[in-house]
């Protein structure tokens, strides 16, 4: 019996919608990363971008458990001396909720060219409105 390997020409992409309202950030991110990689398909091939597109709405209403709002810190560095910027999860959730969810998902994807291709199929929105109705996304319950 031969092992099945999907070719990039044979990949078919579907669209999925995840509503993050009232959900834990990690649960939403793992589900999105799983779909972006294509691991939910029987035709999963590790070296091919066979994943589907994911739309996450209501990013500003995502939950963080425990005391993460005050203790979890996000770091950015400009590359210059003294250019380290720190933000707590509370600030990120109130001012940059889209970036917070995107960072959580991106951290669960491969760190190579393939991971960067997968990341391009992630669309995160702060509110409940999105501009991908034409793709007819399938809603996923967590």
Domain spans of the chain, in order of start: 13-140
Query: Is 90 within 8 Å of 111 (Cβ atoms)?
Result: no
Over the stretch 60-75, which tens digit does the pLDDT of each residue have?
Answer: 999 999 999 999 999 9
How does the average pLDDT of the chain come out, rounded?
A: 96
Query: For residue 91, what are its two tokens?
Result: 């600030």
CA 139 – CA 142 distance, rounded (Å): 10
Over the stretch 87-138, which tens digit does the pLDDT of each residue have?
Answer: 999 999 999 999 999 999 999 999 999 999 999 999 999 999 999 999 999 9
Band of the pLDDT at 56, cuts 50, 70, 90? Answer: very high
Q: How many C-beta neighbours within 10 Å does residue 81 have?
A: 6
Instruction: Tell which CATH classification among 3.40.190.10, 3.90.1180.10, 1.10.150.170, 3.40.50.2300 matches the domain 13-140.
Output: 3.90.1180.10
Quote the pLDDT of residue 1.
Answer: 81
Q: Return the beta strands (E) in 15-118 as ranges.
A: 15-19, 53-57, 73-77, 84-88
Give mean pLDDT, residues 26-39: 98
Q: Are strands 84-88 and 73-77 parallel, antiparallel or unpaired?
A: antiparallel
Quote the pLDDT of residue 29.
Answer: 98
Band of the pLDDT at 140, cuts 50, 70, 90? Answer: very high
């Amino acid at each position: 019996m031969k092992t099945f390997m999907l070719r990039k020409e044979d990949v078919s992409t579907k669209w999925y919608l995840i509503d993050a309202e009232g959900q834990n950030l990690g649960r939403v991110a793992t589900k999105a990363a799983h779909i972006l990689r294509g691991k939910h398909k029987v035709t999963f091939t590790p070296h091919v971008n066979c994943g589907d597109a994911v739309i996450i709405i209501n990013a500003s209403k995502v939950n963080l458990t425990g005391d993460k709002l005050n203790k979890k810190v996000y770091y950015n560095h400009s590359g210059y001396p003294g250019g380290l910027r720190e933000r707590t999860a509370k600030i990120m959730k109130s001012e940059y909720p889209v970036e917070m969810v995107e960072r959580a998902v991106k951290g669960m994807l491969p760190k190579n060219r393939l991971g960067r291709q997968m990341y391009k199929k992630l669309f995160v929105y702060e509110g409940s409105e999105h501009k991908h109705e034409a793709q007819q996304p399938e809603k996923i319950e967590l």
